[in-house]
Amino acid sequence: MPTLPRIALSVRQPSAWAIIAGHKPIENRTMGSIRAGRMGPGRIALHAAAGLKEEEFRYLYWRLEKHGVQCPHPLDLPRGAIIGSVEVTGIITDSDNEWFGGQAGLTLKDPKPCDPIAAPGALGYFEWSPGGTLAPPTRWMQKWGTATPDAQTGDLFPDAPIAFAKPPKRPWS
């Protein structure tokens, strides 16, 4: 096992992938979650959260494309695992950076990927330990990118590359 910090932060995919690939220099949080999670500067392990709903993926897919980043297929994004480490350089409450989009954010640099290490996640900063298995793909992930007509809408290519006339609604508040 590579040498990784014992303290981790869990982030939903594909944001976790974008951070570890060096595309996303800010992880948005509320000030309340930063305080409650005792988050601050220093090197941390990055945990890809096990949960991921299709609406979240579609929104984050759009968000990454807006920044010129091609998002991997959902089956290619490990979940429920440590996927690397990153340096948290500070906490911001205002920024002109296009990745800033919340009440507060952790500024990030120097991501270092590793092979996925199955581990349970937690809220805030947490001490992680290996265990369990990677989260299995859900049904929608297995169908993503296929040309199976959508049963409700009849759309022949429901998972074709997404083009948005207007931004999709954020699936969380």
Smallest CA-to-CA distance from 120 within 107, 133, 111 is with 133
88: phi then psi, degrees, rounded to nearest 5: -90, 120
Q: What is the mean pLDDT of residues 36-57?
A: 94
Q: How far is CA 80 from the centre of its chain?
A: 11
Q: Is the pLDDT of residue 125 over 90?
A: yes
Q: Which residue has the tokens 């929104």?
A: 59
Smallest CA-to-CA distance from 83 within 39, 34, 125, 134 is with 134
- Catalogue all structural domains in the chain, each as residue range(s) with its CATH number: 7-143 (2.30.130.30)
Cα angle 16, 72, 58 (rounded to 5 degrees) comes to 80
Q: What is the pLDDT of residues 85-110, one digit of tens each?
A: 999 999 999 999 989 988 999 999 99
